[in-house]
Amino acid sequence: MNITRKELVDYDATMNQSRNMIYHLIRFMKVNGLEGNDVKQRLRLMGRNIAKSFHNYWKPVDQVNIVNVRDVIATMYKKIVNSSVSVEMDESQNLIVVRDSKCALCKYFYEDVGKFAGCEILLGMVSELISLINNGSVSGSKILLIPQEVSESLSYGDNACIQVFKYSRGGM
């Protein structure tokens, strides 16, 4: 079967293969000497690279700003991993906190993988996709997301995955 990338974006693929692939990649990285923050950074880089391809075929809005960022992030999670998330902003610390109770990428704890969350990849993907959307905008009211951490994960045994981003307003 030959399908295009555009068709893949529109295709509802099963998350099982994606989740399994991420954990096999983590195992591969560990076997090849990567640990801790190096693995997390590689997963985020993968997410950024996926966003660069994804952006060519889909973007939910023409600009992301402080007013629409919560809705845009919720839309991204729904489209990309078929998850309904809650998105909260802590304006005193410039943080955006995404809570996903049914994260498709972190369904199980794998003892041989350790404390790595599959949704690390989403930190890179979401922040890069927002950056790419805003690169085409001339407005100064843009928002930039900086990945911080996966503070909780289903794969750690927590009740939800919580991804944290720092944000800044203005240009790029």
* pLDDT single digits (tens) 106-147: 887 888 888 889 999 999 999 999 999 998 777 767 899 999
DSSP, collapsed to helix, strand or coil, labels residue 144 as strand
Residues 6+ apart with CB under 8 A from 132: 51, 52, 55, 59
Placement of tokens 């906190």 in the chain: 97
Determine if the pTM surpasses 0.85: yes
E strands, the chain, where?
A: 86-90, 95-100, 143-152, 161-169
Question: Which residues are bridge partners to 145 per DSSP?
Answer: 167
Instruction: Enter the CATH code of domain 5-169.
Output: 3.30.1380.20
Question: Which residues are bridge partners to 166 per DSSP?
Answer: 95, 146
Reported as a single tens digit per residue, the pLDDT across 88-102 is 999 999 999 999 999
Instruction: Please state the rounded mean pLDDT for residues 23-45.
Output: 91
What is the chain's alpha carbon radius of gyration, rounded to the nearest angstrom? 16
Placement of tokens 């939800």 in the chain: 160
Asked if 148 and 120 touch (Cβ cutoff 8 Å), the reply is no
Q: Token pair for residue 36?
A: 């801790």
**Spatial distance between the Cα atoms of 110 and 134, rounded to a whole number of angstroms:** 37
Out of 38-47, 56-65, 144-153, 159-168, pick the least confident. 56-65
- From edge to edge, which strands make up the β-sheet containing 143-152? 86-90, 95-100, 161-169, 143-152
Ranges of each domain in the chain: 5-169
Work out the burial of residue 1: count CB atoms within 10 Å of its CB; fewer than 13 is exposed, 13-18 middle, 19 or more buried. Answer: exposed
Residue 50 φ then ψ, to 5°: -60, -40
